[in-house]
Amino acid sequence: MSTELFLQNEAKIAVEKLYGVIAEASQLQIQKTRKEFEGDYTLVAFPLLKISKKNPEATSQEIGQYLVDNCKQIVRFNVIKGFLNLSMSNEYWAEILTNISLTNDYGFLPSDASGRSVMVEFSSPNTNKPLHLGHIRNNLLGFSVSRILEKNGNKVKRVNLVNDRGIHICKSMLAWQKFGNGETPESAGKKGDHLVGDYYVRFDREYKLQIEDLKSKGLSEDEAKAKAPIMLETQEMLRKWEAKDPEIYTLWERMNGWVYNGFEKTYNALGITFDKTYYESQTYLLGKATVLEGLDKGVFKRKDDGSIWIDLTNDGLDEKILMRSDGTSVYITQDIGTAIQRFDEHHLDEHIYVVGNEQEYHFQVLKLILKKLGYKWSDNLFHLSYGMVQLPEGKMKSREGTVVDADDLVDEMVSTAHDMSAELGKLDGVDSNDAAAICQMVGLGALKYFILKVDPKKNMTFNPRESIDFNGNTGPFIQYTHARICSVLRKAEELGINLPKTISMQGFTAPKEIELIKLISEFPTVVEQAGKELSPSFVANYAYELTKEYNQFYHDFPILKEEKLDVQALRLSLSKIVGDTIRKSMWLLGIDVPEKM
């Protein structure tokens, strides 16, 4: 039980005894005491005035006195206007720390505790280009959210949906067919996804040249875009693909194979894994069949050109195309099919799509279409919408080849981690293999932490060098502190000092120790909040606050050199539990922490 809940229960008893009324939970507001005031936690008296029929100060005074007289865990109180500040006993904090040390996976629930089944879809790349910085935020956010939900007691399924068909895929295929001269990843010395991405950029370049040529002949911009020969050829290629043309299908399988190999290397470098991967090429037919069923039921309408639409204007939205006039499908067609397949397969309680905020309208439409088709579980679809990420230089554009490539960024992060670690002397005397592993861990930790500490809903600018600073709110700062704690514990073991199984209240000598215990005890609440908000930023910033507090404690108080054994025991136990909590927090973020650094 958290301290907030413990105090809420005690306050409820006090109110009933003093005023003869059972207070609602909403009336018993407990919060951390502000640092400028004495106390650990604060009860807000204002919601209780209708019960007490007294002013805030008198109400606080009466409740505070009752709690001190009747609850041994509360030793002092003070009143500041309508706020009752309560101080907990050293015995209470010693018991809390002992319980934490004896609890396996403190703050984590078993994966079946809630009885809920949740699917998290993230990554969802197109097979016409390599993963870039935007994909990195998506992958890191989806992977971390899935771990957080899992440790909140949910059965979580991590899935990827590869957009491996459609007009954008045919653009890369056609460009390779026209300009590739049989080039392969091996002959080019490139990862397959990079090679295919080059031809996506090449298509766009040729397309723009043709548009300008047609405009010079008197066509409007829209007419030129529609009649450009290379675009007409791409549309024909898509029709052939959907008709299973052998030559086109073989080319598609070959080029997609190049991309999958490239993606796998990037996922491995980022430490990203999935329980299952879906492919749009395997789900769009179910979507098309569902659209035709909806047409028969009158949910959708066919226009004169043969295209199929749904009119959502009465729902405050717009008209949405579901199938083109040539019978080919669009994105939302396969999303309909995929959602139906997943709920049929897994009987989900919730499905979370981790997709950028530019697709908010798309998911509004998807939910509404499924609801109109009669799927009650449509209310259980949730779009985890996140903001864009860019570098200080500005926005990225895939078609123009100005994206920040994920592989290049990972390599740059590891290289920068090595340079900065060496510059600070953190690699002195470290074996070269160990140094390489540490730099890999630090570089990736810096990247992941810098992105995940930001509220997902916010746009952000990623600064690679700033993220690797060994001071401040960064991944390396937290990683280095974990390594420092491991070093302290190793030295204690070498000296034959054993950690105690129970903590003595005699070990408390400074408020900083209690501040650390308070922070550690809040870990389950942080994990729960991060799960409710689907925001790893709560965990990231908690890890930083805990790390910052520990470093101040480490700087101000001796641990191994402390002469009083009970004090030394407390500080070693605190150090171990802080280290464990840092490790678990960073694990939730998908970040490894070193034991040496």
Are 130 and 249 found together in one domain? yes
Are 507 and 534 found together in one domain? yes
CA-CA distance, 438 to 428, in Å (whole number)?
12
Query: Is 246 within a domain?
Result: yes
Are 284 and 259 found together in one domain? no
Count of domains forming the chain: 4
Are 256 and 334 found together in one domain? no
pLDDT digits (tens, 9 = 90+) for 506-539: 777 778 899 999 999 999 999 999 999 999 999 9
Pairing of strands 460-461, 301-302: unpaired
Query: What is the domain range of residue 550?
Result: 406-588
Query: Is 39 within a domain?
Result: yes
Q: Terminus-to-terminus CA distance in the chain, angstroms?
A: 36
Pairing of strands 74-80, 308-311: unpaired
State which residues of the chain have pLDDT below 70. 393-403
Are 412 and 540 found together in one domain? yes
Residue 423: what pLDDT?
77
Query: Is 440 within a domain?
Result: yes
Query: Is 167 within a domain?
Result: yes
Nearest to 135 by CA among 389, 351, 333: 389
**Residue at 547: amino acid letter:** T
Residue 575 and residue 559 in contact, taking contact as beta carbons nearer than 8 Å? yes
Are 204 and 221 found together in one domain? yes
pLDDT digits (tens, 9 = 90+) for 248-278: 999 999 999 999 999 999 999 999 999 999 9
CATH number at residue 262: 3.40.50.620
Residue 400: what pLDDT?
46
Residue 61: what pLDDT?
97
Are 500 and 583 found together in one domain? yes
CA-CA distance, 526 to 577, in Å (whole number)?
16
Collapsed DSSP state (helix, strand, coil) of residue 159: strand
Are 152 and 218 found together in one domain? yes
Query: Is 441 within a domain?
Result: yes
Are 288 and 168 found together in one domain? no
Q: Which of 239, 274, 309 is the last residue of a domain?
A: 274
CATH number at residue 62: 3.30.1360.70
CA-CA distance, 256 to 193, in Å (whole number)?
8
DSSP one-letter code for 357: G
CA pseudo-torsion sign 553, 558, 564, 566: positive
Are 216 and 345 found together in one domain? no
Are 193 and 285 found together in one domain? no
Query: Is 134 within a domain?
Result: yes
Query: Is 395 within a domain?
Result: no
Residue 506: what pLDDT?
76
Are 581 and 437 found together in one domain? yes
Collapsed DSSP state (helix, strand, coil) of residue 83: strand
> How many helices and strands, by DSSP H and E, does the chain display?
22, 14
Residue 396: what pLDDT?
42
Pairing of strands 350-356, 319-323: unpaired
Q: Which of 274, 291, 308 is the last residue of a domain?
A: 274
Residue 167 and residue 128 in contact, taking contact as beta carbons nearer than 8 Å? no
Query: Is 227 within a domain?
Result: yes
Q: Which of 247, 274, 301 is the last residue of a domain?
A: 274
CA-CA distance, 361 to 537, in Å (whole number)?
25
Collapsed DSSP state (helix, strand, coil) of residue 318: coil
What is the side-by-side strand order in the sheet with 308-311? 301-302, 308-311, 319-323
Nearest to 519 by CA among 488, 485, 546: 546
Residue 274: what pLDDT?
97
CATH number at residue 458: 1.10.730.10
- For the question of whether the overall pTM of this predicted structure is more than 0.95, the answer is no
